[in-house]
Amino acid sequence: MIIERMPNHEYHAAPGISKSGLALIMRSPAHFMFQEKRASSRAFVIGSAAHAAILEPELFAAQYMLLREVTDRRASAYKQPVAVHGEDFVLTGTEADYVAGMQESVRSHPGALEILSAPGRAELSVTTTDPETGVTVRIRPDWVTDDGRMLDLKTTQDARYDAFARSVVNYTYHMQQAFYQDVWFWETGERLPFEFLVVEKAMPHAVMMYRLDEEAIREGRRLYREALNTYARCLESNHWPAYGTETEYLSLPSWAVDADVDTEELNDE
């Protein structure tokens, strides 16, 4: 099932497990099942605004107000728009500058402009069944073109190759790509190419586009499959364990041992 324009809160409340849920399963099933609900932060608000500005500029213009000259939220110039649009849709000062800057920078990048200008749909909500375990899974691609390309937008501190490679590992973006491509294939029978559009949050809002190689995608597929199988077993048994139940022997990591050696050598001198 593919649904357009599903509100974000409805998607997150829908049945099935998403990539973010699988990432929690990788830590432990208990961290997924008993996760605390997090209040919306300004960082989340700015990220949502940036996605709307870049992926759905018409909707962004209709929903959001950018008060770039307003820096005091106690001012009536801020309170009056908030009463109409809501706090999450009114950005002030540097918040507004960041979002407007990212939008302008992305739209100035030839590769990004080409794919975002192609006919397509933003924020699709896709729900289907994993053919191996039978459990319900869901994804929410940022942008899918009508000619069959999938794009995911990432805002970051550093879009350079080495820095984003670390982000891929730290935030399991390779697992996300493999999972998104496979879930789309299970639902539609189409296997779409996938690209990351990466834009820096701070000036000059540098932009890069990346495609993961096959080795990264295979590793991402291995990770999500392991997590998805664990999720299916926990669903069946209704048992959501955290870590181990036995006492384990713990060794110092190699970097700590090396640090001790270095310190002793310095002291000898």
pLDDT by 10s per residue, the chain, length 269: 999 888 878 888 888 999 999 999 999 999 999 998 876 788 888 899 999 999 999 999 999 988 888 887 778 888 888 888 888 899 988 889 999 999 999 999 999 999 999 999 999 999 999 999 999 999 999 999 999 999 999 999 999 999 999 999 999 999 999 999 999 999 999 999 999 999 999 999 999 999 999 999 999 999 999 999 999 999 999 999 999 888 989 999 988 886 555 544 444 44
pTM of the model: 0.88
Tell me what pLDDT residue 82 has: 87
Q: What is the pLDDT of residue 188?
A: 97
DSSP for the chain, please give it.
-EESS--HHHHHHSSSB-HHHHHHHHH-HHHHHTPPPPPP-HHHHHHHHHHHHHH-HHHHHHH-EEETT---TTSHHHHHHHHHH-GGGEEEHHHHHHHHHHHHHHHTSHHHHHHHHSSEEES-EEEEE-TTT--EEEE--SEEETTS-EEEEEEES--SHHHHHHHHHHTTHHHHHHHHHHHHHHHHS----EEEEEEESSTT--EEEE---HHHHHHHHHHHHHHHHHHHHHHHHT----S-SS-------HHHHHHHHHHHHHHH-
pLDDT at 230: 97
pLDDT of the residue at 45 = 87
pLDDT of residue 78: 86
pLDDT at 7: 84
Confidence (pLDDT) at 259: 58
C-alpha 268: how far from chain center: 49
pLDDT at 267: 46
For domain 2-39+108-268, give the fold: Lambda Exonuclease; Chain A (3.90.320)
The predicted structure's pLDDT at residue 260: 52
Q: What is the pLDDT of residue 266?
A: 43
